[in-house]
Structure 1
Amino acid sequence: MSKVILITGASRGFGKIWAEAFLKRGDRVVATGRNIEALQGLSDQFGDQVLPVQLDVNDRQACVEAVNRAKEHFGRIDVLINNAGYGLFGAVEETSEQEARSQMETNFFGVLWVTQAVLPIMRAQKAGHIIQVSSYLGLIAAPVLGIYNASKFAVEGLTETLALEVKAFGINVSLVEPNGYATDWSGESAFQAKPMEIYGPVKDAFQKAVSVPGFFGQPAATAEAIIKLVDAPHPPLRLLLGSFAYPSVRKVYEERLASFEEWKAVSEAAHGSN
């Protein structure tokens, strides 16, 4: 049976690739984007299978209206993929208040608004799957991406809590955590904070690290993984994407556990005596 899938940020990158993959296999897709003209190609190719919707996820009321329109048009929403977001590059000290707030508005609050809008529909259906596109940088940190890291850490905490709250309603929840991919996330879609010379060496080291051959995955290769996730009867809470994600996360988590163990006595003493 074909599914109705709502994808935010579907005009480019992962969102467009996944929308095309679902449409090609016969699913119906609600494709949202800030610029509806950028979604015209999907409509031209797939006709009535796709419903293009202009949406700025920073606008909470617009999120409610877009979700309700999707429900009215197709009769249900089986899957929500919260994909809209962008990267903000800059050291923490370099980042302006407006840049930080804008990053959180889109990457965190946008996810929250669309999620809240779809929950009543999925609860009424007693079924649904909410997929939040996070990042492996929602599990570990990288320099020069502090506010982006923070936004994805926030999405991780929100989503893990959500999964506990809605399981009884028949709603599955997943986090997709890609490593770096060759999309325009770090190019045209990215924002750069005003640089401070003192952070030049940190940025040079970061650039050297991501310049390793093969560091960036091929976006088209993720389509099969997303289809498997959507089709899984018991989907995982977390799905890492890319060959660099797992070893990077494992290394950091092993270091964290070792540090917790080293300071265990201090931690336990801080509880006090009963």
Structure 2
Amino acid sequence: MTADDLSSARALKEVVLVTGASSGIGRASAIEFAKRGASLVLVSRSATTLVDAAADCRAAGATAVECVPADVLDPDAVQAAVDRATGTFGRLDVVVHAATVMAYGRVEDIQPDVFERVVDTAVQGTFHVFRSALPVLRAQQRGHVVVISSLLASITAPTMGAYVTAKWGQLGLVRTIQQELRELPDVHVSAVAPGGTTTPIYDQAATVLGNTGHPPPPVYTPERVARAVVARIDTPRRLKQSGFANPVIIAGFRLFPPVFDALVGPLLKVFGMSRDSVAPTTGNVFAPVPEKEATRGDYFGI
């Protein structure tokens, strides 16, 4: 690449692919990049809600928006989304991987296929994103991947074993990829780990508990987490905790495990569970629930 080519490339707006773009942190991140004038490829299982997300991004200032309905568990579909980005815009600068699903229930009670799907979405889905995106970034010798991790990738909580396993496994994969890319100083992989965030994931989660969950305090807005995602482009981090209470909670988990284990269950029941009554449901684990998708959930966030 000549100096003129490099200068022209830098002058162009970012090309950003976002998975999980129809709801929650993924949608908020897409809108935040749209404010920077990015060209976007939005990926989600929900084709109908992607249309709404695309409209939000155009209104926020996106240069262009492409929608690709796809499940991250389908490697061919993920590859097609990456190919859409490079084929339409000529390159790929940023990948934000936010696709995830969640389930509540004791490990002995949760259905095996639900447990496997939650874990597979996080681990295999992330693997598929890396497998498709990294060859492009390697060829370019530049680019960023930002994976939405979780506080629950660093601690554990009863009745959330599927999601905890998913996020611990995902973060292990992320850290391995970070090591494997050390020879490419301009290719960056960052993880952003939010605490409780007011997104619709809690209402969409599978549950066998007889009630739904809600984000435990302190509760953050998806827009706040999205700003942390965008900030990683200028300041990559191996793992960025997005939440001022996260380091305190993690310290308690690591330094005082007997105390943490005694408190986490009762505290989660009081502050992280709704008082509603619902029949056992698989939520959106196997298929999207478009009517429950939005940027924000029903809870106040800071």
What range is the shorter-chain TM-score in? 0.7 to 0.9
Structure 2 unpaired stretches of 5+: 1-10, 258-302
TM-score where L is the length of structure 2: 0.75
What letter corresponds to residue 109 of structure 2 in structure 1?
Answer: E
SS for the counterpart of 2:183 is: helix
The one of 12, 19, 23 aligned to 2:23: 12
Task: State how many pairs are aligned.
Answer: 241
User: 1: distance between equivalents of 2:166 and 2:156?
Assistant: 11
Does the CA contact (< 8 Å) of 2:26 and 2:97 recur in 1? no
The one of 197, 208, 218 aligned to 2:221: 218
SS for the counterpart of 1:64 is: helix
Structure-1 residue corresponding to 2:287: none
Does the CA contact (< 8 Å) of 1:42 and 1:50 recur in 2? no
User: 1: distance between equivalents of 2:247 and 2:199?
Assistant: 20
Structure-2 residue corresponding to 1:248: 249
User: 1: distance between equivalents of 2:200 and 2:168?
Assistant: 22
What letter corresponds to residue 249 of structure 2 in structure 1?
Answer: S
Does the CA contact (< 8 Å) of 2:146 and 2:229 recur in 1? no
User: 2: distance between equivalents of 1:95 and 1:155?
Assistant: 20
SS for the counterpart of 1:92 is: coil
Residue identity over aligned pairs, in percent, reads 29
The one of 122, 137, 144 aligned to 2:159: 144
The one of 166, 170, 177 aligned to 2:193: 177
With over 3 angstroms needed to count, the CA separation of the structure-2 counterparts of 1:43 and 1:194, relative to structure 1, is closer
User: 2: distance between equivalents of 1:54 and 1:136?
Assistant: 28
User: 2: distance between equivalents of 1:194 and 1:16?
Assistant: 28
Larger radius of gyration: 1
Deviates more, 1:33-42 or 1:3-12: 33-42
With over 3 angstroms needed to count, the CA separation of the structure-2 counterparts of 1:177 and 1:44, relative to structure 1, is closer
SS for the counterpart of 2:240 is: strand
Structure-1 residue corresponding to 2:116: 101
User: 2: distance between equivalents of 1:42 and 1:85?
Assistant: 17
Bigger relative CO (Cα 8 Å, ≥ 6 apart): 2
Structure-2 residue corresponding to 1:272: none
Residue 48 of structure 1: how far off its partner (Å): 5.3
Residue 120 of structure 1: how far off its partner (Å): 0.7
User: 1: distance between equivalents of 2:107 and 2:182?
Assistant: 37
TM-score where L is the length of structure 1: 0.82
More helix by share: 1
